[in-house]
Amino acid sequence: METLTANNLTLGYGEKIIIDELDIEIPKGKVTVLIGSNGCGKSTLLRSMARLLQPKSGEVVLDGNEIAKMNTKEVAKQMAILPQGPSTPEGLTVYQLVKMGRYPYQGVFKKWSQEDEDAVNKALEDTNLMDLKYQSVDELSGGQRQRAWIAMTLAQDTELILLDEPTTYLDMTHQIDILDLLFELNEKDNRTIVMVLHDLNLACRYADHIVAIKDKKVYESGQPEDIITCDLVYNVFNMNCDVTFDPLFGTPMCIPHGRGRCILAEAHAEKTGVQNNCVTTTLKAN
């Protein structure tokens, strides 16, 4: 069952076409990751699915309704988006930022309620930020700040969350921390998560469903173990690699070819008798 689809979608800026007559289906209750080379249109596609970018043609459908024809607040009650590198107004506390997620539920005749307060506190608890509730966002570490933004999207209380490169600029520890959090939200609340990731191995580890974008269309989509191959990596990223299995999780793991420390590898091979597989990126995939 799909909760979000795009049909014959064409996107661009001015005369430049970024996505051309693309069809995509996002499975409900799953973690979907968009992958592809830089500039292929992943973020543009995500923005369009969140109704932040008007299509040149085609449509985005949310739970059977064309999103362009839906009321803005109704869309915001069903779908939350966290763009890449959001900026926080100076001096805003974590609590004040997370409260902003309740905007769709406010109105002339509906003021702040206990339901709103409970939603904010639950979002803070789910992201382990309750102890930092009244601290300035400016004083947080990069990982804590990203958690605060995710808490804001959780306070929005939607079944669907879209995130554009949520691990950008984070170190390895905080990348795993954020991805574990999103995985838990999907597992515990059955939320549909759609995100753009650059790290192919992390995408394979956390995604139920991967969509590879190339030449302005969906090149291939499916479960990581079904679609991630040497040929796909070469055709989508123009990179040669070996694909093996993650020793901890059993998911596909891409080992890119390249020069690296080939001299040391050769010395190790000569010493141990283990064959040296050090190659250059000029080789072509089989």
User: pLDDT (tens digit, 9 = 90+) per residue, 180-237?
Assistant: 999 999 999 999 999 999 999 999 999 999 999 999 999 999 999 999 999 999 999 9
The domains found in the chain, sorted by start residue, are 2-228 (3.40.50.300), 238-286 (no CATH)
Tell me if 123 sits within 8 A of 152, measured CB to CB.
yes
Residue 107 has pLDDT above 90, yes or no: no
**Percent of the chain scored above 90 by pLDDT?**
80
In the prediction, which pLDDT does 106 show? 87
Residue 275 has pLDDT above 70, yes or no: no
In the prediction, which pLDDT does 282 show? 35
Q: Which residues partner with 200 through β-bridges?
A: none
**Which residue is listed with tokens 């574990």?**
180
Tell me if 166 sits within 8 A of 82, measured CB to CB.
yes
Residue 278 has pLDDT above 60, yes or no: no
Kindly state the average pLDDT of the residues 110-122.
92
Residue 283 has pLDDT above 50, yes or no: no
Residue 115 has pLDDT above 80, yes or no: yes
120 vs 179: CA distance, rounded Å: 21
What letter represents residue 16's amino acid?
K
Q: Taking all residues of the chain, what is their mean pLDDT, rounded to a whole number?
A: 90
In the prediction, which pLDDT does 209 show? 98
Kindly state the average pLDDT of the residues 171-177.
92
Query: pLDDT (tens digit, 9 = 90+) per residue, 149-167?
Result: 999 999 999 999 999 999 9
How many secondary structure helices (H) and strands (E) does the chain include? 10, 12
Q: Which two tokens stand for residue 15?
A: 């005369």
**How, if at all, do strands 209-214 and 217-222 pair?**
antiparallel
Q: Which two tokens stand for residue 255?
A: 């080992």
> For the whole model, what pTM was predicted?
0.88
CA dihedral 175, 178, 180, 181 (to 10 degrees): 180
Q: How confident is the model at residue 169 (pLDDT cuts 50, 70, 90)?
A: confident
